A and B are shown apart, each in its own frame.
Chain A
Amino acid sequence: MINGYDIMDKQTLDQLSKQIRAEVIETAHKTETIHVGGCLSCVDILIALYFGCMSVRPEEPNWPDRDRFILSKGHAALAFYTVLAHRGFYPLEQVFTFNKDKSLFTEHPVWKNIPGVEATSGSLGHGLGIGSGMALAAKISKNPYRTFVLMSDGECEEGSIWEAVLFAPANHLGNLVAIIDYNQWQACGRSNEIMNLSPLKEKFSAFGWAAYEVDGHDIGAMIVLLQSIRSSTDRPVAIIAHTIKGKGVSFMEDDNNWHYRVPSADDVQKARQELGFQ
């Protein structure tokens, strides 16, 4: 239980994961939106956070003591919006306005547009710095909330990330958790070939972070890990979540064409079937 919220059992969480995947693919089709692969790689991380770790009050989204979450890989907004809807921040129907003309559900999240969105993101490399500021604020005001930042692996090529990686341990931000959705792809190729990212865990460790690796699709394992680091030291925490781009749909998995490809009606039908929906 977190803050009066009962954590669902494994089967229910896995089913929720499939349902959110199906909704993401269908909405992407209807709204002709890209970035499906990167959405599917982080759905389980988002579920582990919102359904198994973070202390939030959907009915009071600006509750001062809430845990903060920043989707620094803003291009996965559709997955994020869908998870927030299932967590009760707003009705799911609102997400279906995603990316439509004048919708507040923008293709990259905008702060204050939507309950639960804590920062504007989309330009990569901003979230960890903003999250560090929020974690610093919690320290100054002696507030116990934690700040979680979800980044992509390609995003770790931004120099500003490494500025924040140096800053957070220097300021003893043990209340900051960075999660890397390590799907090993970026827009135009393998992230480890385009830049020398690997080994990420060792890099974070060398910079003074408490670094962990986890299967980014094992919701139960992630919940156990996230809860075990709850009363950590004053070292910030980095979690390298090993994921698969396009996870959950056979013809999307590890196929980087799904960075930019919009699912067709046929794709939606096939995907839904694979996920167990008709």
Chain B
Amino acid sequence: MRDSFSEELTELAGSDPRIVLLMGDIGNHMFDRFKELFPNRFFNCGIAESNMISVAAGLAMSGFRPFVYTFSAFDVGRPFEQIRVDLAFQNLPVVIIGLGGGLTYSSLGPTHYICEDLAITRALPNMTVVCPADAVETRAAIRAALQREGPVYIRIGKKNEPVIHKTTPDFVIGKGIIIEEGTDICILGTGTILPNVIAAAHRLREYGIKPRVVSFHTLKPLDTILLKKAFSDYPLVVTVEEHSLIGGLGSAVAEWLSDHFLPQKGHLMRIGIADEFLHYAVKQKSALDAYNLSPDKLAEAIHVQYRKLH
């Protein structure tokens, strides 16, 4: 996903002189092409994320379209107040790319993974929050973000994630994409957990349960049309996210659900990361399994819940 971000931004920068890339000293050769083509629009801002966000604000206030890139843990976790005041309050068109949100970097320890980034950004007025599921959605999300007039947070994975979309889907911020149709339950997955959701859906089909699978890539603004239909048409709506159960997709859907009266509504089931830190060395795959986010555990958890309804 990170290579698709770099390639897409390089392509866009050729036709849009407003694009400026700020990065926090990660990526090494990832941006060589961008630097070669646009040396005066590439800035390694060093290991100083708070300043990087403020510099992006100053550039945006002067007519540029800055993209800010580093680990999610550092470009959301560290400079929250700069994001809040300089970007969100002033409603500036700055795109923050968060590398490795969720448990992508769990093996690097608690400083490098972040399962609160969506909650933090989603709480801010004016902020758009997008979690593309694969490289194709990443490219589309970057193009779409460039059209927004306010700040956008895009959480991406790392590299070599499975590609879900064989062709470029109709990607609209705030509109979920139906990946597979099904009549029994509706599973909303956000971000890089989607391949596991699809794999889990295939296992559920083996049990005779036919799930609809949605790439629910935008957490803010919510696709309320899709949600309304999902809770009307399905007895069980499942949210799946590589994020804390506090403040992410499941929270957003639960908040929306509690605020809206639907005469016949399906049950909501949330699957995500528990409210805890990991204090030991852990590989992403193993951590996902522990939180019921591996394909097998996902299928099992959803299957159990579905059977309770029947």
Contacts and interface: CB of A to CB of B under 8 A. Distances in A.
Q: Do these two chains really belong together in a complex? A: yes
B41 A126 contact: no
Given A129-B51, A130-B55, A130-B58, A137 B90 contact: no
A129 B58 contact: yes
Interface string B23-47: 0000000000000000011010110
B90 A140 contact: no
Interface string A25-57: 000000000000000000000000000000000
Contacts of A166: 46, 48, 51
B82 A138 contact: no
A119 B61 contact: yes
Interface string B57-91: 11111111010000000000000011001100110
B50 interface: yes
Contact of A164 (B51, B63, B90): B51
17 contacts: A112-B90, A118-B61, A119-B58, A120-B86, A126-B54, A129-B52, A129-B58, A129-B86, A133-B55, A133-B58, A133-B61, A135-B58, A136-B58, A137-B61, A163-B46, A163-B50, A164-B51
A118 B163 CA distance: 44
B214 interface: no
Secondary structure dominating the interface of A: helix
A129 B59 contact: no
A134 interface: yes
Contacts, number: 98
Interface residues of A, number: 31
Interface in B175-227: none
A132 to B, nearest CB: 5
Contacts of A126: 54, 82, 85-86
Contacts of B89: 120
Interface centre among A123, A136, A160, A166 (most CB of B within 10 A): A136
B294 to A, nearest CB: 40
A122 B86 CA distance: 11
B83 to A, nearest CB: 11
A132 B45 CA distance: 11
A129 B90 contact: no
Contacts of B57: 119, 129-130, 133
A140 B41 contact: yes
